[in-house]
Structure 1
């Protein structure tokens, strides 16, 4: 299968491209800039300008759309908030325009979303059928993201929307930011510590995306999270134990994080308790269903002879 991948130079995209290639698929990137020494052919596009290499979509049998500016980077100024939105929806509008044209072979689109979609749900266990609650930046951003992908289904395409949780990887994302203070002996739960962390190991996420891409049984939205969400306090404790480091005796107060991070403090002070039941019912088997084994895979890796297979 020829797979056209947007967001292919990010944390998830980089690993996904390797997983797809190892599974025997041909990967090409769709990017705003050419990547020097990339092992993948790169088609260029400019979603803001509505410009795309005319050979990009005809190359593909399927599209994986991961494009979107990182919500954790940069201050949430009005300009940055607009960038977070346009970096997600402009590309989908451009893909819709091109996929509306005859002469391509694309039959499936996997278009990323995030669990922020659900809004403020407290301790309730969230499923794909849960009605979104309230409005905040992440909720509104993610709902607009999904709304931009929805018209693709009207073209007769199989559209799958993974609502991605906190992706665990030592190559970037939340885990290095959480592990750094713990390694230095300054680790502590954040705020109340009771906010839920619905996480997924990067390799499990890429295997899940591969299944969504290649199996026609996958349709519509799925929570892309491991089966065992934990509270921030439990996550911090498990991380400290795996790293063999002590934690501070008290939590880091919410007001300190709010002063330091402003509106972005919602990234660490709020959470979602999200169910993986729908993906499990579809037959997906997680290599890392529990947090401790996921953390140990990064910080206390086993010998190659005993590591789990990462085949789909």
Structure 2
């Protein structure tokens, strides 16, 4: 397939791009900067003055939208929250504009999303059938992002919102910051420790996206989380055990809020999210349990 990826140079985008190239797909990455092409991988300028990417990319089969300022970067000031939100809306609008100009439309549009759309809870279990929507900044951002993508359904394009959980990677994503206290022998419970961590190995994220491409039945929301979430305190204990470091020094919620501001909600709150659609569709995780993922990454 010919696949256009917006945000293909980011943490998750790189893993998806590598896997798709491995599987023989032709990849076009929309980029703000000119970069050299390689076999089965081409870069096309977009979101720049004078750039008309739809005239260059031809007739792609799939669009994957991962574009937007990372929620993990920077403190969540009002200005930074605006950049996070606006970058996602701008990218979605431009992709919708591009597709609207094409005589032959792609058959599939995959829009990155996040389990932050579900309200934080220590007791609820969320699946793709859950209708509750969080009203905080992240919930509103994700909900509006999905609504943008949903307009492509009117063009007859199969549209999927891949709701990523806490994505674990070796050098990027949330894990390096979570591991740092343990490297310094000061790891321990964060906040109450009862908040849920619905995690997923970045390799399984890429594999899930490929699975969606290969299966024409999946549409709408698709939770991309490992099948076995766990509480934050248990997750920390597992990091400590894997690294052979103690899990002993609690970090109170007040300290996290002081250090991270509003972004502290990413670690102090959580959701128990199940990937029911992927499991029902026969998807098998390479890393279904946290110990396997941590051993692989750490």
TM-score by length of 1: 0.90
Q: Which residue of 2 aligns with 1:171?
A: 171
CA distance in 1, matches of 2:76, 2:115: 19
Q: Which residue of 1 aligns with 2:162?
A: 162
Q: Please give the per-residue CA displacement for 1:211-270, whole angstroms capped at 9, x wherever unaligned.
A: 11222111111100000001110110011111111122x421000111111111111101
Q: Which residue of 2 aligns with 1:199?
A: 199
Q: Judge which range, 132-141 or 288-297, deviates more.
A: 132-141
CA distance in 1, matches of 2:50, 2:114: 25
Which residues of structure 2 form unaligned runs of 5+? none
RMSD (Å), alpha carbons: 1.7
Alignment of 1:143-154 (within 5 A): 143-154=143-154
Provide the secondary structure at the position in 1 that maps to 2:54. coil
Q: Which residue of 2 aligns with 1:302?
A: none
CA contact (8 A) 1:50 1:94 kept: no
Change (3 A) 1:92 1:125: same
CA distance in 2, matches of 1:59, 1:71: 32
CA distance in 1, matches of 2:134, 2:27: 38
Residue 36 of structure 1, CA deviation = 5.7
Q: Which residue of 1 aligns with 2:118?
A: 118
CA contact (8 A) 1:57 1:98 kept: no
CA contact (8 A) 1:11 1:171 kept: no
CA distance in 1, matches of 2:277, 2:62: 23
CA distance in 2, matches of 1:277, 1:65: 22
Provide the secondary structure at the position in 2 that maps to 1:42. strand
Q: Which residue of 2 aligns with 1:223?
A: 223
Provide the secondary structure at the position in 2 that maps to 1:29. strand
CA distance in 2, matches of 1:19, 1:225: 18
Q: Which residue of 2 aligns with 1:58?
A: 58
Q: Judge which range, 103-112 or 171-180, deviates more.
A: 103-112
CA distance in 1, matches of 2:259, 2:36: 36
- The yes-or-no answer on 1:42 pairing with 2:67 is no
CA distance in 2, matches of 1:113, 1:296: 27
Q: Please give the per-residue CA displacement for 1:255-296, whole angstroms capped at 9, x wherever unaligned.
A: 011111111111110111101222100111111100001111
Which residues of structure 1 form unaligned runs of 5+? 300-312
CA distance in 2, matches of 1:134, 1:105: 33
CA contact (8 A) 1:201 1:288 kept: yes
Residue 94 of structure 1, CA deviation = 1.4
CA contact (8 A) 1:4 1:63 kept: yes
CA distance in 2, matches of 1:71, 1:34: 25
Residue 72 of structure 1, CA deviation = 1.6
Q: Which residue of 2 aligns with 1:253?
A: 252
Q: Which residue of 1 aligns with 2:266?
A: 267
Q: Which residue of 2 aligns with 1:98?
A: 98
Q: Which residue of 2 aligns with 1:277?
A: 276
TM-score by length of 2: 0.95
Residue 123 of structure 1, CA deviation = 2.0
Q: Which residue of 1 aligns with 2:11?
A: 11
